């Protein structure tokens, strides 16, 4: 069973400036609800019991969102508003499941994952990148099923426009396992458009094994001077670890870019 999830939240959100200059991108509203709550709902619905937030001193506002009790209690006392009480209870429910760890310098997703090493109890855990919303069908739940079937690591996959491959991790695959799942033979972080092995991209849902921490400890900086989880996954695959790519069927919304963020509220309002 996969019981723990980790969510890297220490990123600066520069693609969403000026919205992120004083605010955390994960708290920005998407159709009237902070983006992070969609991610939390996906985790909880998939049976996750503990969620580890990787934040930084600059992102304390994320913690505050879940620990603003004094403010809520005062308002609830003065104003008998059932909607506010319901929202407060929801936040308390989320909070019970959340732990915070710190990544004070944003060195990349690989470095963020390494910060959770001492908290991971089981052999496998889930990671969700909060820029990637997947609506309609719970991608984490589907991936946990794939993990249970193949006893492997799993990553979400989606075919993207060939001209945009340098924005994603890109897969190579040799073998189809079943209709929506394939065996990954290699993965490369943000390849050049003319050197890309395919246009099948990594989307931000991963089931990873604890083994990855050993690799991450020695992981050197890659593209853009960051420590990428993709580079450690690549090493593991080349050393024989089994990674399955899962073509998810939900609706993908890229909330990490300005156009994508604006579009996401419109799309969710239609669901
Ligand atoms: C990260 C990963 C990349 C993946 C993408 C999915 O990139 O490094 O491999 O394809 O998420 O959203 P980032 O969005 O942090 O640049």
Q: Which domains are seen in the chain, by residue range?
A: 4-270 (3.90.550.10)
**Probe residue for ligand 1, chosen from 26, 191, 204 as the CB with the greatest number of ligand atoms within 8 Å:** 204
- The upper half-sphere exposure of residue 200, i.e. CA atoms within 13 Å in the direction of its Cβ, equals 21
69: helix, coil or strand?
helix
pLDDT of residue 51: 98
Distance CA 190, CA 238 (A): 18
Distance CA 113, CA 7 (A): 9
State how far the alpha carbon of 258 is from the alpha carbons of 9, 21, 253, 263, 265, in Å.
Answer: 18, 14, 12, 9, 12
CA of 80 to the centre of ligand 1 (A): 44
- The upper half-sphere exposure of residue 76, i.e. CA atoms within 13 Å in the direction of its Cβ, equals 14
Q: Is the CB of 13 under 6 A from ligand 1?
A: no
pLDDT of residue 54: 98
CA of 168 to the centre of ligand 1 (A): 5
pLDDT of residue 80: 85
Distance CA 172, CA 182 (A): 10
Q: Is the CB of 131 under 6 A from ligand 1?
A: yes
Helices (H), the chain: 35-45, 60-66, 69-78, 82-97, 109-114, 139-150, 212-217, 229-238, 258-270
Distance CA 196, CA 165 (A): 7
pLDDT of residue 106: 87
CA of 92 to the centre of ligand 1 (A): 30
Distance CA 34, CA 26 (A): 7
Q: Is the CB of 111 under 6 A from ligand 1?
A: no
- Which atom of ligand 1 is nearest to 229's Cα? 8
> Along the chain (271 residues), what's the average pLDDT of each consecutive run of 10 residues?
97 95 97 98 98 97 98 93 96 98 94 98 98 98 98 98 97 95 98 97 98 98 96 98 97 96 96 88
pLDDT of residue 40: 98
User: Residue 175 in contact with residue 103, Cβ under 8 Å?
Assistant: no
């Amino acid at each position: 069973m996969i019981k723990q999830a980790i969510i890297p939240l220490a990123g600066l959100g520069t693609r969403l400036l000026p919205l992120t200059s004083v605010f955390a991108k994960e708290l920005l509203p998407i159709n009237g609800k902070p983006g992070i709550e969609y991610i939390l709902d996906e985790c909880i619905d998939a049976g996750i019991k503990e969620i580890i937030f990787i934040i930084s001193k600059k992102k304390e506002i994320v913690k505050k969102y879940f620990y603003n009790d004094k403010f809520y209690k005062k308002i609830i006392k003065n104003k008998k508003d059932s909607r506010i009480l319901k929202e407060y209870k929801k936040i308390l429910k989320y909070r019970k499941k959340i732990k915070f760890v710190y990544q004070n310098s944003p060195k990349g997703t690989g470095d963020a994952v390494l910060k959770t090493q001492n908290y991971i109890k089981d052999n496998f855990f889930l990671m969700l990148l909060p820029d990637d919303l997947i609506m309609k069908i719970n991608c984490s739940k589907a991936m946990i099923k794939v993990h249970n079937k193949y006893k492997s690591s799993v990553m979400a996959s989606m075919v993207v426009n060939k001209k945009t491959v340098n924005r994603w991790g890109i897969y190579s695959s040799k073998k189809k396992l079943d209709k929506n799942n394939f065996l990954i033979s290699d993965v490369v972080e943000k390849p050049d458009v003319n050197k890309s092995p395919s246009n099948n991209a990594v989307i931000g849902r991963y089931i990873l094994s604890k083994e990855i921490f050993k690799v991450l400890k020695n992981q050197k900086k890659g593209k853009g001077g960051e420590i990428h989880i993709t580079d450690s996954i690549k090493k593991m695959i080349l050393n024989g670890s089994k990674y399955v790519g899962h073509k998810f069927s939900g609706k993908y919304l890229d909330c990490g870019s300005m156009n994508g963020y604006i579009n996401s509220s419109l799309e969710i309002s239609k669901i």
